[in-house]
Amino acid sequence: MISTHILGAAHNLRNTALSLMEEQIKKSPSVSFGRHYKNGKPVEVIRFRTTRNGKLTWGELSLSSKTGKKCIPVARKIAMLRKALLELKKEAVVCRSGAPVGPGLSASSQEMGIIPENTNRAQKFSYEEWCALVENNDQSIKNGYRHGRHLFRSKSELLIAQLLESLGLEYKYEPIMMINGKERWPDFAVYCPETNRFFLIEHLGMMDKGGYRSENTDKILDYEESGYRVDIDVIFSMEFGPGSFSIDAVYGKILGLVLAQSRLGGTYPLSLPNS
């Protein structure tokens, strides 16, 4: 299921962030903000740690001193890193317990400032509409790439199909659709059970060629003029010459699209940042 991939990506990202923050703090000077009282009045200071004659000692600098002022940006950065590190560690503990994480999980769409999806649009991308799509089944494809019951035009399309299967997503290859009054064959119409709707993937594999680029720029405009939202209803994958295709980029776009669609439905598979 794709939600497993999303949660797995979040887990890996969190662990990476934890490691990077811990390493930054370890390499940073030992300075922090502090306060003591002098004649009953609070005095803000910069505290620093140093080693003298093999012994660890602490010192203080007034924030108003020349050296203290120079230390303020460093102390702020370290304080922010420590705060973020603490929040990430708390979040990791909550995730391991299986409890919901972050604000927005219990909030309504209105409270989050999210506009619920229009009923007509939701129906346009429903499972029933996806089932009704008919594949073009172009018999003129030559030197294609066979995978299962499909013959793909390019190796990149084959890789996208394999990626979709690994994510547990059903797809139709080159379904016949009317886009802005024109018959189009989007490369993939993909149904996602976790958002209960489908989306399109268009792979534009020769964008380094002027004529092809011009033709497909018109195609992108047709989608926009028909009300398709980029990275919510349709994903565009592009190649600009040999070696420019990244299946990891497509993977990231799919995860991002599913997260965006889940927000439209009022569900939040991952924690949302404070606004």
In total, the chain counts a number of residues equal to 275
The pairing of strands 234-238 and 197-204 is parallel
- Look at residue 271 in the predicted model and tell me its pLDDT: 40
Q: Give the dihedral of Cα atoms 232, 202, 132, 228; nearest 10 deg.
A: 40
Assess contact for 116 and 160: CB atoms under 8 A: no
d(CA 109, CA 102): 15
With a CB cutoff of 8 Å and minimum separation 6, the contacts of 191 are: 127, 130, 169, 170, 171, 197, 198
- Look at residue 130 in the predicted model and tell me its pLDDT: 93
- Look at residue 98 in the predicted model and tell me its pLDDT: 54
Ranges of each domain in the chain: 2-97, 119-264
Which CATH number does the domain 119-264 belong to among 3.40.1350, 3.30.1400, 3.30.870, 2.30.29?
A: 3.40.1350
d(CA 243, CA 58): 55
- Look at residue 272 in the predicted model and tell me its pLDDT: 40
For residue 36, CA distances in Å to 45, 71, 79, 219, 245 come to 8, 18, 18, 67, 59
Residue 215 has a CB neighbour count (10 Å cut-off) of 12
Assess contact for 31 and 47: CB atoms under 8 A: yes
Over residues 152-188, the pLDDT tens digits come to 989 999 999 999 999 989 999 999 999 988 899 999 9
User: Would you give the distance in Å from CA 153 to the centre of its chain?
Assistant: 28
Q: Which residues of the chain have pLDDT under 70?
A: 1, 3, 9-10, 13, 51-52, 88, 91-119, 265-275
What one-character DSSP code corresponds to residue 188? Answer: E
- Look at residue 162 in the predicted model and tell me its pLDDT: 95
